[in-house]
Amino acid sequence: SSSIDNVAISVQDVAKGMETQSGDLVYIVSILNDFNIQLDNVLESVKVIENGTSEIHIKANDSNKDMSSVINSVDTVTDSFSELVEKIQNVEGNINKINEITT
């Protein structure tokens, strides 16, 4: 009878231990689910940052193209101005020759 009592007590102890372990496992699963939700939030944040970075890259490329266009325009104006200065110098030379001839 005492060995049956001991077995019954042992079975009860095992059952209590399993119940405790089951509760611990439920708690661990809950923590892992919360962690998974937090990871999903981090992933979404990273995607938002990635999209923002892509937009910045596109705008930087567009700005670079615009700046190249401005540089080309400035170069064209500089060349045109140089040609104008050269023509004015030629006209000045011609006026000087006319003055020499007429005086």
Domain chopping of the chain, boundaries: 1-72
| Residue 79 pLDDT grade (very low, low, confident, very high; cuts 50, 70, 90) | very high
User: What pTM was estimated for this model as a whole?
Assistant: 0.51
| Residue 101 pLDDT grade (very low, low, confident, very high; cuts 50, 70, 90) | confident
- Give the distance from CA 54 to its chain's centroid: 5
- pLDDT one-digit tens code per residue, 86-96: 999 999 999 99
- pLDDT one-digit tens code per residue, 33-43: 999 999 999 99
In DSSP notation, 16-30 reads HHHHHHHHHHHHHHH
